Amino acid sequence: MHEIDQVRGFNRAVTRRIGLLRDKFLGRGRPFGEARLVYEIGSAGIEIRELRRRLDLDSGYVSRLLRSLEGQGLVDTLPASGDARVRCARLTSRGLAEYEELNRRSDSAALSILAPLGASQRERLVAAMAEVENLLLASDVVIKPEPAGSAAAQWCLRQYFELLGRRFEAGYDPGQAAPAGADDFTPPRGIFLLARALGNPVGCGALKRSVPDIGEIKRLWVASSLRGLGVGQKILDLLEAEARKSGLKLLRLDTNKALREAEALYRKNGYREVPPFNDDPYPDHWFEKRLD
């Protein structure tokens, strides 16, 4: 199939060009593994367990790498406040200098791709790279139930509320809206789904059982860079499947006219507009869909 060939060609071209650049620019003097660590520790420092999680590395290996970086005077570790088992890695001033240097090299690597191109080609390349990046992310999306109180879930909800605040003419105040706490989205009363791409949260959606047999879709949000790539559709599909599984007969939701993409998504999925079923201050449209 022609699509597959293009993807394979892309993989080869990119691993050669980008891979070579990586070795050329970042590999100088310092092993790549160490550079990765310095980069990930960053100027703010980081808990070692978080470091392990992000880079998906063996705990012994990370430990050894940190010892090596300590030996070079780039890093020091200190116990985290609160839990004395946890340790934090921090860059020393020399480490910080190395971090800046890595950033400069990353910039140079990027520039070495852009520099030979003319202005219009640069623009095309940058646009196409953004498109590929977002679609690769979209193709990696995994949607799973998540405790509504978890840090990742809370982060998504903050993004969602901020979006509402920006979009709504009069802003958005969670206090004024119909209250819905983590309990409402916790089984068996409801469920909270989180979408992750490359491990990072990029979207969410929740189902809340309001009246027996009736469920309500809430908190459907997708990171702006991934909008229009089918992530919202997937979350909605899974929420509906969940609703069917728990025997709900009807799904309801409300939305504001400023959220055009959401409204289009609901209409496309067979939600019909109905008279208001609540008196929340924010929604302009109310929808429902009968499940069979």
Interface residue with a second copy, options 65, 138, 204, 238 (CB under 8 A): 138
- Cβ neighbours of 281 (radius 10 Å): 10
CA distance 185 to 276: 22
From residue 253, alpha-carbon distances to 80, 207, 278 in Å are 44, 10, 10
Beta strands across the sheet bearing 250-255: 142-145, 190-197, 200-209, 214-222, 250-255, 285-290, 272-274
Pick the binder of a second copy from 133, 183, 273, 284 (CB under 8 A).
133
Nearer to DNA, 87 or 244 (CB): 87
User: In the 3-class helix/strand/coil scheme, how is 209-231 assigned residue by residue?
Assistant: ECCCCEEEEEEEEECHHHCCCCH
Handedness of CA 99, 100, 101, 105 (dihedral sign): positive
Under rule CB under 7 A, residue 64 binds DNA? yes
Task: By CB under 8 A, tell whether 140 contacts a second copy.
Answer: yes
Asked if 144 interacts with a second copy (CB under 8 A), we say no
Q: Write down the least CB distance from residue 264 to DNA, Å.
A: 42
Amino acid at 278: N
Of DNA, a second copy, none, which one does residue 58 interact with (CB within 5 to 8 Å by kind)? DNA
Q: How far is the CB of 134 from a second copy (least distance, A)?
A: 9
Nearest approach in angstroms of CB 60 to a second copy is 20
Whole-number minimum distance, CB 178 to DNA, in Å? 32
Contacts of 178 (CB under 8 A, 6+ apart): 278, 280
Q: Smallest distance, Å, CB 129 to a second copy?
A: 4
Rounded least distance, CB 92 to a second copy, Å: 25
Which letter, b or e, does each residue of 134-157 get, where b requires 16 or more Cβ atoms within 10 Å of its Cβ? beebbeebebeebebeeeebeebb
CA atoms in the 13 A half-sphere facing the CB of 271:
26
Site for DNA, residues 161 to 220, rule: CB under 7 A:
none
**Is the CB of 16 or the CB of 158 nearer to a second copy?**
16
Q: Which residues bind a second copy (CB under 8 A)?
A: 3-11, 13-19, 21-22, 106-107, 109-111, 113-118, 121-122, 124-126, 128-133, 135-141, 198, 229-230, 233
Which residues in this chain contact DNA in the complex, by CB under 7 A?
31-34, 47-49, 52, 57-64, 66-67, 77, 80, 82-87
